[in-house]
Structure 1
């Protein structure tokens, strides 16, 4: 099993934060897709997603994106 943590990090730097410093619905969907490519979220992926999600707040993303971030974090035990 190979972790996609590196791909998640690269995507976040190239697409998520490079253009506007926040996460939109399409970017969040891609992060989730990368994390779940093998059907699970491993510890490295969890750590990377935790760092990415820590860079946004409820005020810096849309309510729908914030709700999905919270749901995804809870479902996959992301701190």
Structure 2
């Protein structure tokens, strides 16, 4: 079985989101997470990419929706 390449799609999508308006919103982050989950498993490469993407979010950009999305992602990653 070949290695999943979803993490590359996630990276590409995040670049598109950040270059669009310079930030990432909860909806955009949700779409990136959906890419990771589409095969039913969030693997180590996808976690690495998610962690990198999240690290680029500036604290002043975190609204209630983003805070909830980050909490959800944290729970999902903790299960892996």
- Tell me if both proteins adopt one fold, taking TM over 0.5 as the criterion: yes
Alignment of 1:37-56 (within 5 A): 37-56=38-57
Q: TM-score, normalised by structure 1?
A: 0.82
Structure index of larger Rg: 2
Whether the 8 Å CA contact 2:30–2:69 is kept in 1: the answer is no
Q: Distance in 2 between matches of 1:35 and 1:29?
A: 10
CA deviation after TM superposition for structure 1 residue 30, in Å: 0.7
Coordinate RMSD, CA, aligned = 1.6
Q: TM-score, normalised by structure 2?
A: 0.81
The alignment of Structure 1 onto Structure 2 pairs a total of residues equal to 76
Which structure's residues are more often helix, by fraction?
A: 2
Moved over 3 A (4+): none
